[in-house]
Amino acid sequence: MALSSADRRGITCLIVGGVGFSASDALTKLSTLSLPFGEVLAVRGLFTSLLFLVLLVARRQAADLMVVTNRAVLGRTLFDLFGTVTFVLAISNARLADSTAIVLSSPIFMTLLAVIIYGEKVRWHRSSAIVLGIAGVVLITKPQPDTFSYWTLLAAVAAICSAGRDLVTRSIGAHVNSLAVAFCATAIIGVFGGALSTVRGDWIAMDTRVTLVLAATAVCYALGMTLNVQAFRGPITVSLVSPFRYVMLVWSMIFGIGLFGETPDVFTIVGSVIIIVSGLYVLHREMIVGRTLTATAPER
């Protein structure tokens, strides 16, 4: 079947957007090697929210920032905050590809939360996919006593927060400006990071290199998010485009190997394959029941 121009655009946006998200994650991890955790969150949040603010002003959409009074947006922002904090802690202390693979299991957790919170009925095939996906997550955490990583469990918490965020996003009207929602999330993350660093008293002066790295982190994240939104605009075939969200795992492995020498082991590879297979099936079933939201790439 020939790809439409909209599908080609969507696939390209997801692939390039995946580079943006993965580069942002890698640069964030790099920043934590020389700066305290809270300071990284604060400066990254400041740069990213300023970038979104500039885009809103340039588009004459600054008035859309009133969306902060929307309860659904506030709930989404809180999920984003907890998800970002746990994910950054995970990538700071565990391998980048491991954490990314686990976070990419969020559609599986979203379906699970729909069952728990809304009492949604799922048949055996979706239930099997959920169990299989969670098994993939467990496998990546390396369940042997001598290799088990508690930090990867934080990536699982981040995946659950991402799933909760997407559930809340359902109740946000389509008319709400995505950039304004993104600004709210990144701003509150920056405020939280600044408060944490102030309480701990561990703020240190940044040199030019680290400042540029964090600025690049903000640009990469904004690029990833913008392209992610654009990927699902227009008359695309969601079932065809959405699987390319998992290309981000490949980019994360490349950045992990290139910047940190993190060679994926058999647990990561097998667990990632399991998550991708089960995730694709869950996405397929979610789109059948009309929830295309879960096909989008994760935001952090």
Q: What is the mean pLDDT of the chain?
A: 87
Per-residue 3-state assignment (H helix, E strand, C coil) for 258-293: HHHCCCCCHHHHHHHHHHHHHHHHHHHHHHHCCCHH
Asked whether residue 161 is domain-assigned, the answer is: yes
Residue 28: the pLDDT is 97
Q: Identify the domain containing residue 223 by its residue range.
A: 22-231+238-295
Asked whether residue 16 is domain-assigned, the answer is: no
Asked whether residue 94 is domain-assigned, the answer is: yes
Residue 238 has pLDDT above 70, yes or no: yes
Residue 250: the pLDDT is 93
Query: Mean pLDDT, to the nearest integer, of 108-135?
Result: 82
Residue 297: the pLDDT is 39
Asked whether residue 17 is domain-assigned, the answer is: no
Identify which of 277, 232, 291 has the alpha carbon closest to the alpha carbon of residue 104. Answer: 277
Residue 290: the pLDDT is 56
Asked whether residue 3 is domain-assigned, the answer is: no
**Residues 182-220: tens digit of each pLDDT:** 999 999 999 999 999 999 999 999 999 999 999 999 999
Asked whether residue 9 is domain-assigned, the answer is: no
Asked whether residue 14 is domain-assigned, the answer is: no
Cβ neighbours of residue 117 under 8 Å, at least 6 residues apart?
167
Tally the domains of the chain. 1
Query: Mean pLDDT, to the nearest integer, of 28-32?
Result: 96
Predicted structure pTM score: 0.89
Q: Tokens in use for 41?
A: 């969150």
Asked whether residue 182 is domain-assigned, the answer is: yes
